[in-house]
Structure formats: structure tokens, C-alpha cells
A and B are shown apart, each in its own frame.
Chain A
């Protein structure tokens, strides 16, 4: 089946630093990547949607200058949390969809737990 690899799985960083999270589709071309965040006991909230080679579309309330998304190729998207603060601590998950991907359309990465201290 389709696999999406997300790294790192856990990261702890100091307040004010930046963190990059990678999401790779291993066996299909991801024409669209979605980035979600999930707070404890909450559902997944879509942050942004990106298509390969174009700018990401951010959901209302998500700061595009703080959460930089790059989708430079059909197999790789990155989310960079810039100048991280403790309130950015959360579980971030990517999801990929491809033209020739699974019939169910979306494959999730394994998630990244970010802790900002």
C-alpha cells in the first residue's frame, strides 16, 4: 500500500528556534499534501494545503510566515515552524494524495510531536 514517511517523529526545541518537519511519499507521487495539527484530545485541524510547485493555501487563522510550507517535488513536502513558542507545541501530521495513489485518496504520515521549551 501507499506509504508516507514523516520525520522526525519527536522533536524538542528551544523557544525562538525553527524546526523543519519532512513528509515524503515513498511509492506514489503526491500531487497534494495536507498539513494538520492536533492538540491533546482534539481532532485534526487542517493548517494548509499545498500542490507541487505552487504556494500553499493556508486555512484561516494560520500564520503563513510562521508555518512555512514547501512542496518542491512530487514526493516531498516540508513544514517549517519558525521562531517556535511553547504554544506551538502540538502533534503535526501530514497527509498526501496522489493521482495514482490509493483509492481512499489520503495517506497519513506517522506524525511529529513538537515540544517547545
Chain B
């Protein structure tokens, strides 16, 4: 059975700290891995990773994928209170026997950044 596991499930840090969020997966027909930030409503896209070892960066956020070890990390440096959210990892896989894919989500990591 396909699965995506995120750790830790929750994390409390202080402003300025650096955090690393983990995502491991076991998915057949892997296509890509995506990171989302979810505050009160729908997830907002952060990164899509398809190749191993290539770091994607956006400001204080960065992410990298290891397709051999089947995991990804999301780093946030110099955290701010506005970074408080649930961070979701999802793997895009080709659906069973079909050409359409679907996202398999992890349970998320709830990050709380204290002032």
C-alpha cells in the first residue's frame, strides 16, 4: 500500500530557529514529490521535486529529494511567526493502471513558531 510518512507530527520553535521537516514515502509509480503549506484553508504550493539531489530554494525555504532512500526534507531558516502552519508532503503517483496521477498526502507537520 502506498504511503507517505511525515515527521515530526508537531514542532514548536522560537523565532530565528532553523527547522527541518522530514517526509519519507513508499509509492509505486513515483512521479514527483510536492510540499505544501496549509494555514486555515486550502494548501498553498511550495515546491515540486522530481530529481534527486537538486535543491529547490525559495527565500528561507529549501527542499531536496533523495529518490534512492525515498525521502525529502524541507528546511526553514530564520523562522518567523508567519511560518506557523501545517506543512504537507504529498507524492504524485500514476494511478493504478491509469495515466492519471493522484496525490498521496502525509499527515503533515504542525509547526508553531513562538515570538
Q: Which residues of A contact B (CB under 8 A)?
A: 6, 9, 32, 34, 42-46, 49, 51, 57, 93, 95, 97, 102-111
Contacts and interface: CB of A to CB of B under 8 A. Distances in A.
B105 to A, nearest CB: 4
B42 A109 contact: yes
B103 A46 contact: yes
**Interface SS of chain B:** strand
Contacts of B90: 44
Given A95-B103, A105-B48, A49 B92 contact: no
Interface of B: 32, 34, 36, 41-45, 48, 88, 90, 92, 95, 100-108
Contacts, number: 54
Nearest to B104: A46
Contact of A51 (B36, B43, B44, B100): B100
B19 to A, nearest CB: 19
Nearest to B4: A43
